[in-house]
């Protein structure tokens, strides 16, 4: 299966995007469940835990990405060989974006959140989109660079 090293890149993107989307959903749940008057402390603690979890989640994708890029430099393939990887990466990316946006919108619609928390959720959504976008973007560049 790993004869084509683009699979490593595709799996790296899959693991990173789904992991980040799952952790983002947990972040939104913690922010929404914050007690009245303790929103700031809850948001700070949840954000710290969010970044620690992201760091742990991205260890395996980074390793796969490094090995995939090393093997991709000696692989001779065409864009046609890479088409399935591009399609899977785009699908996973769109799915991850959808999960982040839906989680943020659901959190913003909760009646108990304050305007400050609402702004935090909007900021977190932008951060989540940026984090979700990183691995698929790297995979696209590597596939088009070496194909």
Question: Could you give the CA distance from residue 91 to residue 100 in angstroms, rounded to a whole number?
Answer: 14
- In eight-state DSSP terms, residue 54 is H
Question: What is the chain's percent helix, strand, coil content, to nearest 5?
Answer: 85, 0, 15
pLDDT by 10s per residue, the chain, length 147: 567 888 899 999 999 999 999 999 999 999 888 777 777 888 889 999 999 999 999 999 999 999 988 888 787 777 777 888 899 999 999 999 999 999 999 999 988 888 888 899 999 999 999 999 999 999 999 888 876
């Amino acid at each position: 299966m790993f004869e084509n090293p683009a699979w490593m890149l595709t799996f790296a993107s899959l693991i990173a995007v789904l992991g980040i989307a799952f952790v983002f959903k947990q972040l939104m749940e913690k922010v929404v469940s914050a007690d009245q008057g303790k929103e700031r402390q809850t948001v700070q603690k949840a954000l710290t835990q969010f970044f620690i979890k992201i760091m742990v989640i991205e260890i395996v994708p980074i390793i796969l990405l490094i090995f995939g890029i090393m093997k991709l430099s000696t692989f001779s393939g065409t864009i046609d060989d890479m088409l399935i990887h591009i399609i899977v990466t785009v699908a996973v990316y769109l799915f991850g974006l959808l999960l982040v946006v839906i989680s943020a919108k659901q959190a913003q619609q909760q009646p108990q959140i304050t305007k400050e928390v609402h702004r935090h959720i909007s900021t977190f959504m932008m951060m989540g989109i940026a984090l979700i976008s990183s691995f698929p973007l790297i995979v696209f560049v590597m596939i088009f660079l070496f194909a």
